[in-house]
Amino acid sequence: MQIKYSRDAIKFLDTQAKKTVERIRQAIFKLTLNPPQGDISVMQGYSDNRKRLRVGEWRVIFRYAKENQTELLMIIDIGNRGDIYK
């Protein structure tokens, strides 16, 4: 499975401490396992089957997709739990 990060997600990771980035990246990698591991829940109100992953005080918004024959894990956004849902 291939992981693709949105521009917003990359921008967020660039501003964080190395330890935080490593913790988030490890949690994202666990989403590629079968079955995915972590505190995952489906987000309400979206038709593209978005889910959120809880990593401490951070939230990772993602969805699974297929491009040709490749399975993708699309990281849509990452942020603080109070700001990410706005």
Question: Model confidence at 43, in pLDDT bands (50, 70, 90)?
Answer: very high
Residue 56 gets the label, from left (phi > 0), alpha (psi -120 to 50) or beta, of left
Question: pTM of the entire structure?
Answer: 0.90
Return the pLDDT at 25: 96
Q: Would the pLDDT of 8 be above 80?
A: yes
Task: Find the domain containing 61 and state its range.
Answer: 2-80
CB–CB of 9/77 below 8 Å?
A: yes
Mean pLDDT across the chain, nearest whole number? 93
Let me know if residue 86 belongs to a domain: no
Let me know if residue 52 belongs to a domain: yes
CATH of residue 32: 3.30.2310.20
Let me know if residue 85 belongs to a domain: no
Return the pLDDT at 71: 92
Domains contained in the chain, number: 1
Let me know if residue 51 belongs to a domain: yes
Let me know if residue 75 belongs to a domain: yes
- What's the rounded Cα separation, in Å, for the pair 60 and 70? 22
In angstroms, what CA-CA distances link 15 with 20, 21, 39, 65? Answer: 10, 9, 24, 27
